[in-house]
Copies of this chain bind each other. A is one copy, B any other.
Amino acid sequence: MEGAFDKGDTVSKPAIITVAITGALPRKKDTPAVPVTPAEQIESTHQAFEAGASLVHVHVRAEDESPSSDPELFARVQEGIRKHCPGMIIQFSTGGRGRDQSARASMLHLRPDMASLATGSVNFPASIYENPPDFVEGLAASMLEHGIKPEIEVFDLAMLYNAAKLAKKGLIRGPLHVQFVLGIDNAMPARRSVFDFLRAELAQVLPDATWVAAGTGRFQWEVNRWCLETGGHVRT
């Protein structure tokens, strides 16, 4: 895994293009094209892979389309992507929307290349995205045990410094990869000033880290443009 990420301050190396299949929220009734079964997710990932994506962020869904933590579903998606998309980096979501806190780490024994790790709590549109300190440390320890590289998810500023503290404690191993998530209502807004400050602070507290920023919904393209302008990776 090391070496798969170039430093954010060089633009000569190709950027990692991440594809996030399915996500936590959209349903077939809203977005008929959203892949929800493992077979649909594998095919959708394959298309993105052929179009140049090199990292896939995986959420899985139960039969009623609700967000799931079922290791069986993660295993099937992982197996299919490994077979159809050789060399693609597979990242499992440990995200919280609609998922039970106790189950969010239940698929890490499958040893994906990466898994997401939100290093703090913040308000989301209608509730708290709950990642209490001991839970974060438990997720980090499980990733370390299974040789999984975390993708640090920064939904609010404190999470950046929390990641640096985890690294200092030896609970996560560098060089880290950090994603700034901008534009979720009640969390950090998609403001250029915020984006610039996050990059400046990251360079101070985690100088070896690579980074990407994701704008949600209507902010997606603008934030992608900021990333390309400043040498970050790109998420679609």
Separation of A127 and B120 alpha carbons in the complex (Å): 10
Cβ contact within 8 Å between A158 and B132: no
A131 at interface, CB cutoff 8 A: yes
Separation of A122 and B156 alpha carbons in the complex (Å): 9
Counted per complex, copies of this chain come to: 2
- Contact partners of A200 in chain B: CB under 8 A: 193
Cβ contact within 8 Å between A127 and B123: no
Cβ contact within 8 Å between B162 and A123: yes
Cβ contact within 8 Å between B122 and A158: yes
Given A156-B158, A158-B187, A188-B158, A121 contacting B128 (CB threshold 8 A): yes
Q: Which residues in chain A, 161-202, are within 8 Å of chain B measured between CB atoms?
A: 161-162, 186-189, 191, 193-194, 197, 200-201
A162 nearest in chain B by CB position: B186
When the two chains form the complex, which single residue of B125, B158, B201 contacts A133, counting CB atoms closer than 8 Å? B125
Number of A interface residues, CB 8 Å? 31
Cβ contact within 8 Å between B122 and A133: no
- Contact partners of A162 in chain B: CB under 8 A: 123, 186
Separation of A128 and B122 alpha carbons in the complex (Å): 9
Separation of A132 and B120 alpha carbons in the complex (Å): 15
A40 at interface, CB cutoff 8 A: no
Cβ contact within 8 Å between A123 and B123: no
A134 at interface, CB cutoff 8 A: yes
Cβ contact within 8 Å between B122 and A122: yes
Given A197-B197, A200-B193, A158 contacting B130 (CB threshold 8 A): no
- Contact partners of A187 in chain B: CB under 8 A: 158
Separation of A126 and B194 alpha carbons in the complex (Å): 27
A12 at interface, CB cutoff 8 A: no
Cβ contact within 8 Å between A128 and B128: yes
A127 nearest in chain B by CB position: B132
A204 at interface, CB cutoff 8 A: yes
Cβ contact within 8 Å between A132 and B123: yes
A125 nearest in chain B by CB position: B133
The list of the 10 closest CB pairs from A to B, nearest first, reads: A157-B157, A121-B128, A120-B123, A156-B156, A156-B158, A121-B123, A128-B132, A161-B189, A197-B197, A158-B187
A-side residues, CB < 8 A to B, are 120-123, 125-128, 130-134, 136, 155-158, 161-162, 186-189, 191, 193-194, 197, 200-201, 204
